[in-house]
Amino acid sequence: MSSGLPIISTPVGGTPEAVEDGVNGFLIQPGDYKALAEKIDLLASNKELREQMGQESFRIAKEKFDINIIINQLKELYEEVLEKKI
């Protein structure tokens, strides 16, 4: 995502937090090889869609997963835990 590429993945674990189906990539069900092939073909044949989804991937990566954002989230979490302990 930080490389500005569209994503094709399955909606398992935390993936749906990063991949918005139809926005910055596609989420397909595990084992659905036909859907996987269709999405690969769609992205391979549609440069405009590839670029648009890639830009969205980059935006989402910066907004949600930038190191400074993660550090601030962890800091807030630690402060909250410490306040409850004291």
What is the per-residue pLDDT for 12?
A: 96
Tell me what pLDDT residue 52 has.
98
Rounded Cα–Cα distance for residues 23 and 65 (Å): 17
**Greatest CA separation for the chain:** 58
Can you tell me whether residue 27 is helix, strand or coil? Answer: strand
Residues 21 and 55: their CA atoms lie apart, in Å, by 14
The domain spans of the chain are 7-85
What pTM does this model have?
0.80
Q: Does domain 7-85 have CATH number 3.10.20.340?
A: no
pLDDT at 86: 63
Going residue by residue through the chain (86 aa), what tens digit of pLDDT does each one get? 999 999 999 999 999 999 999 999 999 999 999 999 999 999 999 999 999 999 999 999 999 999 999 999 999 999 999 988 76
